[in-house]
Structure 1
Amino acid sequence: MAESTGMREIFVTGLKNAHAMENQALSIMKPQVSRIENYPEVAARLEQHVRETEGQMARIDDLLQELDKGPSSLKDMALALTGGMAAVGHSVAGDEILKNSFANYAFEHFEIASYKSLLTLAELGGFSFATSALQTNLREEEQMAQWIDENLRTVTLRFASLREAGETAKV
């Protein structure tokens, strides 16, 4: 299908939503990283994903610029606020590291679905210039989701061990 005004609008909206989504991801991950003490492997992987997420936002910025558009400041701000509230909400839980792991796993899959949808829209609308950047973002999200999945047992065992020993197990 050739590029149409309607398809362009749908694609631009999707890119703006993805930018805000990644901004939300940063507002969730950065507070988590700053609080982690007993799970260095989780902190290291989150720090790596923060850098990846910053790169994802830059790629989305480039795509929006290619379309003579920019991110939505309102969406970015609103989703960053909700992400920050989620991070604060988990910080008071006795099992914060587990709640963060569950939420991060779910959020990664939300991002995966978003990028798969954007790739479909890029194909449908003839926005082939966007495919490589979107595939890179998708691959990074899939790798992060896989890492969380592969490490959930280890994090849970460490949490239980620390809790049983009477040590701080939250983060």
Structure 2
Amino acid sequence: MEIHDMYLNWLRDAHAMEEQALTMLGSMSGRLVHYDHLHARVEQHIAETERQEKALRQLLERDSGTSLMKDLTGKAAATGQALGGVFASDEVVKGAIVSYAFEYMEIASYSVLIATARIIGDDEAIAVYEQNLAEEQSMANWLAQNMEATTDFYLRTLDSDGPEKRQE
């Protein structure tokens, strides 16, 4: 397989990853109404992710088009993850953990795309990947800095008919 073919495969993977992120974040957002700081940051990241998905789609359309199968697989996995947390009483904490791990998968993907785009000379794409990378790093850092506060709020409200119980 040629470098350019591998590059396009990784770009398709990144596009499917952002589609999956949109599904996961959208599902999570509606259940965070009692976590103001987390809800606001997730909404901000949804807007960033929408922009990222569009930019990746434009890069793909420039070369070969998106991969319907990868996009559908990513969406199905995200839906499964989102639905899996619906009945978990600690879904906010588990969602924060999964989101943090997912951000690092995105960070690694964009790092690979940047390195490959440099080798093949795709300067237009490098700018897109670098912006996406910075946004993913920012979200991962935010999650890390707020994990304790999110967990603390969840645990403090657990015995007092907490946010999850009020959402029913």
Instruction: Give the structure-2-normalised TM-score.
Output: 0.94
3-state SS, counterpart of residue 47 of structure 1? helix
Per-residue deviation, residues 74-119 of structure 1 (Å, max 9, x unmatched): 1101110110100111121111100000000000000000000001
Aligned partner of 2:49 in structure 1 is 53
Residues 154 and 162 in structure 2, CA contact (< 8 A), matched pair in contact too: no
2:27 aligned with 1:41: no
**Correspondence 1:112 to 2:107:** yes
Matching residue of 1:91: 86
- Name structure 1 gaps, 5 residues minimum: none
| 1:140-151 aligned within 5 A | 140-151=135-146
Q: Which one has more relative contact order, counting CA pairs under 8 Å at least 6 apart?
A: 1
Residue from 123, 126, 130 that aligns with 2:125: 130
Q: Partner of 1:36: helix, strand, or coil?
A: coil
Q: What secondary structure, in the 3-state scheme, does the structure 2 residue paired with 1:35 have?
A: coil
Q: Secondary structure at the match of 1:93?
A: coil
SS of aligned partner of 1:91: coil
Q: Percent identity?
A: 33
Match of 1:19 among 12, 15, 18: 15
Query: Residues 32-77 of structure 1, C-alpha deviation per residue, up to 9 Å, x if partnerless?
Result: 111222101111111111111110011112212332x111111101
Greater mean alpha carbon deviation, residues 161-170 or residues 54-63:
161-170
Query: Matches of 2:12 and 2:131 in 1, distance apart?
Result: 17
User: Deviation of residue 128 (structure 1)?
Assistant: 1.9
Match of 1:64 among 54, 60, 65: 60
Root mean square deviation, CA, Å: 1.4
Partner letter of residue 91 of structure 2? E
